[in-house]
Structure 1
């Protein structure tokens, strides 16, 4: 990551920059996906601290330690306040202050997901990936792929003379997440229960990958189109940042655009997206777009669950993938309860369940990894 005066970044949170500084920050953010991700994490952190007197050096040190010092605690403790709202006819609100000390783990504790994936090579070889210090992953006698923490990096393979024309499959299981940099420099953040099939080295007139699940793409600019192929449609871009949620079995697929432009192609239909818009494809084939708050759909990659008027069933399906649990409903009617709020993805699952239970609407019966939602 390229260096920049952190005090400028800190002041940018409050918009207290000169025009020259604004240009410097913008140029730095555009240099790489890593810079942009760092900026968003810093922005999230200091935004939540701005109601206090800020000791800049102290808070920067605390931010750096949380962001890079402990891999699995990136955002634990960043949110001291979590609001869980449940709407059922009227609106019921729970505002709970969390202690900075982590909750005591009990026999019903369900740990959050972690960095894990399985890489399948063109020969069918399966390589288990976990977060680790920088190392080389041996693909074959003539091919090594660099891994740094939770990022598998294919960039520069051609420059190193590794001329391998084959496809790999990155599979992130339930309870996992992982990131990768494709050979063209495109960053991809993969959510739980997600598959991405891609060439070791892009060539030809397009850069094409195949996705099932959820991923955030920060596509490297190029004159060659970048195409994400999904079940039933394609997303085509040149250089942009967007999120795709396309889990099999769900009632709708969503493509949410943060920056740049996107073209959606579905069976002869074409839909163009501008920043702040979302394309929705239903399982009946209906294609539409709408204005949205993009942060609601990209917060997962920064360590948060954020829900706005979501059905309880949709909320539970989302978190179940991350915590790798099985869901059952004693009364299907509770699936329509509406949920609003946010919570860290790195909290123990029991924390979220306890907050919902305090609203006295549903109860959760936990037996191992099986959770039954019971109507009260």
Structure 2
């Protein structure tokens, strides 16, 4: 590997890349699919290392030998040609539970899986019914209205969509795919936002409370960053990154501390709280799917939402296969599926416009 690229990867990991260096690294990634695949592996490895608090100065030779040993124990030994370079770039320890690898030629069927990310526009709707189309992946800076009438605006992403909304109080909301938010035109007077879907919030303090309502839960905020997932027919999950929020529903009320997560299956159920690695639940705003012991059903649901596909399982038991790792959201779905296929016995094929999961 070119010494310049090695240097750029080291700076990427240390978060010290300049704009020009970032452009160089991005150009290198786009030159060949192999480069893009290596970058995905590199990111996954250093994230796993961070989560497991590995030593930065671990012996690269020892790390490489540990990787070789792990893969030799598997029935089907996969190619590991890039791991030598990866081991020299980042520290590893033998307790790493999952190592994503560069992926050479996969199943022929994967080459024919060409579902593309949906490019449908984001819809902005006013109370009077006027609808405007906004660019998918773009942003909107909103202005406050002093009109005391009940005027509300709605912003809605579709499958495969994402959007950045800057509210009149300068709070920022990142909308994930298939998400709708509704808020008052006079937002400075009524800082309440109704959510269906998933959004990440960076709330600005202004002396008044900020409320998020979704799935029967109400989150009360004074100034903080947090993520809320409130898709229909799914548990409501509130993940606090910084600050403090009060979460309540028909049964419970509690206050979260940073790195805590509250979950309830319905508005009438008790809130379950646990400590989590918040990066796993917020990395989507940086264009990454990140999974920590996630079952295949949840992973495929996210991919289906992003690429607007329908998934069928040959055996329902396959839904419970678990994975840990990272995938780039802007890559083709074939690439993401190949990663899953290479590290498991799960396989994929398409038929009649659907994606089938089999073993």
- Answer whether TM exceeds 0.5 for this pair: yes
1:229 is aligned, of 201, 205, 213, to 213
Shift of 1:82: 5.9
Range moving further from structure 2, 294-303 or 316-325: 316-325
Partner SS, residue 100 of structure 2 = strand
Return the TM-score normalized by structure 2: 0.71
CA distance in 1, matches of 2:151, 2:218: 22
Provide the rounded CA distance (Å) in 2 between the counterparts of 1:164 and 1:151: 26
User: Relative to structure 1, is the Cα distance of residues 52 and 190 closer, same or farther in structure 2, using a 3 angstrom cutoff?
Assistant: closer
Cα distance, 1:164 vs. partner?
Answer: 7.6
1:353 corresponding residue in structure 2: 337
In 2, the alpha carbon distance for the partners of 1:53 and 1:282 equals 37
> What residue number does 1:305 align with?
289
The residue number in structure 2 matching 1:186 is 171
Q: Is the contact made by 1:198 and 1:209 (CA closer than 8 Å) also made in structure 2?
A: yes
Partner of 1:274: 257
Establish whether residue 263 from structure 1 lines up as the match of residue 246 from structure 2: yes
| 3-state DSSP of counterpart to 1:201 | coil
Who is 1:371 aligned against? 355
Instruction: Go from structure 1 to structure 2 and tell me whether the alpha carbon gap of 1:65 and 1:260 turns closer, same or farther (over 3 Å shift).
Output: farther
Contact 2:194 2:213 in 1 (8 A): yes
CA RMSD of aligned residues (A): 3.3
Compute the TM-score of the two structures, normalised by the length of structure 1: 0.68
**Partner SS state of residue 129, structure 2:** coil
Written as runs of structure 1 = structure 2, the 5 A alignment for 1:47-66 is 49-50=9-10, 59-63=18-22
The 8 Å contact of residues 115 and 177 in structure 1, kept in 2 or not, is answered as no
Q: Distance in 2 between matches of 1:116 and 1:253?
A: 26
Deviation of 1:308 after TM superposition, in Å, equals: 0.4
The CA distance in 2 between the partners of 1:115 and 1:61, in whole Å, is 31
Contact 1:213/1:246 (8 A) holds in 2: yes
Q: Which residue of 2 aligns with 1:253?
A: 236
Q: Choose from 207, 210, 222 the match for 2:194.
A: 210
User: Do 1:82 and 1:96's aligned partners in 2 also have CA atoms closer than 8 Å?
Assistant: no
- Asked if the contact 1:115–1:178 (Cα under 8 Å) also holds between the matched residues in 2, the reply is no
Return the offset for 1:368.
6.3
Q: Residues 117-266 of structure 1 correspond to what in structure 2 (within 5 A)?
A: 117-130=122-135, 150-155=138-143, 157-158=144-145, 166-204=151-189, 206-250=190-234, 252-266=235-249
More helix by proportion, 1 or 2? 2
Residue correspondences, number: 289
Distance 1:165 1:286, change over 3 A: closer
Q: Residue 325 in 1 paired to residue 309 in 2?
A: yes
Once the two structures are TM-superposed, the CA of residue 249 in structure 1 deviates from its matched residue by 1.5
* Deviation readout 1:241-276 (Å, 9 max, x if unpaired): 0000111122x2110011111000111521101111
Counterpart-to-counterpart distance in 1, 2:213 and 2:97: 41
Displacement after TM superposition at 1:195 (Å)? 0.7
Answer 1 or 2: which has greater strand percent. 1
Looking at structure 1, the residues matched to 285 and 155 of structure 2 have their Cα atoms a distance apart, in angstroms, of 17
